[in-house]
Amino acid sequence: MLKLSLDAIEIIDAIDRGGSFAAAAEALHKVPSTISYTVAKLEEQLGFPLFFRRGPRVSLTPAGSELLNEGRWLLRSAADLESRLRRIATGYEAELRLVHDSLLPAAALVEHIRAFEALNCGTRLRLGTEVMTGAWEALREGRADLALAIGDPPPGFAQHATRLRAIDFAFCVAPSHALARIGRPLDEDDLLGHTAIVVADSARLLPARSIGLVAGRARITVADIEAKIALQCAGLGYGYLPRCRIATALKKRELVALDVVAPRPAEPLWLAWSADDEGEALKWWRARLQAPDALAEPRIGVPPAPTPAPNP
C-alpha cells in the first residue's frame, strides 16, 4: 500500500509555506492535532523524519525537501487532471486562477465575483496579486489562467490579450512634504535631495520593469502599492500613484496631487488569458471584464496643492 497520499503532501506543503503546524492548520482549515497526527503517522510509515523541530517552528529535512519538490509536481498534476475531467463533464473548470496587478484595487472585482458566485457553477476562484511584469509572468508560467496586467506585454508574449482602458496616475506627496510648498510644476531638479517611494516588480524570471527611476536617486523600495501609499501619506517620500487607489486619501488631504513638468503617461490595462483550451468559467470572466465600463476608473475630484507659504 502506498504510504503517501495527496492529502499528506498538501499538509507538508502547507507546513513548509507557513513554517509551523499551527499555520498549516489555519491555512487548511483543520485542527492542529490532525496536522500533527498526519505528519507523525507518515514519518513512522516512511521510517525517517520529514521535519526538524525547533519549538513551534519547523523546517524540512533533506528527505522532506526532496519529497515536497516531487510532491508539488504531483499536486499540480492532480489539480490539472481534476480540472480537465470536470471541464469534460460540465464545461466548467475545477478552479480558475485570476491574477491582477496590485495597482488595480480588489474592490473593483467585488461585484464581478459576486455575480460569478451566483452562477453556482462549482468552479473555485483563486485570486492573486502581482506587480508590473509579475502579472504577465504568472500567466506565462502557468500560475494564472487570467490576468489583469498594467503596462504593455513583455517581448515574446504568446498568450491572448486585449486592451481594456488606461490607468491614470498622479504625482503625490503628503501635504507636509517640502515638495508641496514649491507652488509650481515640479521638474527633475526639484526632486534632488528627496526620497522616491517605489514598488518592486514581482517578476521572478522576466526582466523587471522600473519606471521613472534615476540612478543614484534616494529611494525606498516596497513590495506593494498599499505600502507605497502608506509611506507617501506619512510624508516619507514622493511618487506617482494610480488615481483609482487614492480617491479617499486625496479627499481627506492625506495626499495632494502636484503638477509636474513631465507627467507620467497613462498605462494600458490589459486582460490576458491562457492560450490553452478554455472552459466556461474563463469564457464568462473574459466576457464580463470586456464589457463597457466593467472596470471603469472612479471619477474623483483632485484637491489642489496647498498654497505655498510666503518667503520671509
- Distance from C-alpha of 264 to C-alpha of 77, rounded to nearest angstrom: 43
The whole-number average pLDDT for the span 192-217 is 73
Place of cell 489539480: 79
Mean pLDDT of the chain: 85
pLDDT classification of 300: cutoffs 50, 70, 90: very low
Q: Please indicate whether residue 309 or residue 195 has the higher confidence score (pLDDT).
A: 195
Whether 95 contacts 78, CB under 8 Å: no
- pLDDT confidence bin for 208, thresholds 50/70/90: low
Q: What is the pLDDT of residue 230?
A: 95
* Exposed/middle/buried for residue 62 (C-beta within 10 Å: 0-12, 13-18, 19+): exposed
Cell numbers placing 237: 517620500
pLDDT confidence tier of residue 232, bands split at 50, 70 and 90:
very high
* pLDDT for 241: 95
> Residue 215 and residue 193: Cα distance in Å, rounded?
13
49: left (phi over 0), alpha (psi -120 to 50) or beta: beta
pLDDT at 275: 72
pLDDT at 100: 94
10 Å CB burial of residue 34 (0-12, 13-18, 19+) is middle
End-to-end CA separation in angstroms for the chain: 86
Split at pLDDT 50, 70, 90, the class of 86 is confident
- Long-range contacts of the stretch 188-194 (C-beta < 8 A, 24+): 188/214, 188/261, 188/262, 191/217, 191/238, 192/217, 193/218, 194/218, 194/237, 194/238
Please state the pTM of the whole predicted model: 0.67
Residue 212 has pLDDT above 70, yes or no: no
C-alpha cell at 27: 491555512
pLDDT of residue 2: 64
Q: Is 128 exposed, middle or buried (0-12, 13-18, 19+ CB in 10 A)?
A: middle
Between CA 233 and CA 239, with CA 236 as vertex, the angle to 5 degrees is 70
All domains of the chain in start order, with CATH? 6-87 (1.10.10.10), 91-166+268-289 (3.40.190.10), 168-264 (3.40.190.290)
Grade residue 305 by pLDDT with cuts at 50, 70 and 90: very low
CB-CB contact of 122 with 92 (8 Å)? yes
Mean pLDDT in residue range 55-71: 89
Q: What residues contact residue 312 under an 8 Å CB cut-off, 6+ apart?
A: none
Q: Say what the pLDDT of residue 84 is.
A: 72
Does residue 221 have a pLDDT over 80? yes
C-alpha span between 129 and 69 (Å, rounded): 24
Highest mean pLDDT of the ranges 17-21, 65-69, 123-127, 231-235: 231-235
> What mean pLDDT do residues 155-182 have?
89
What is the pLDDT at residue 207? 58
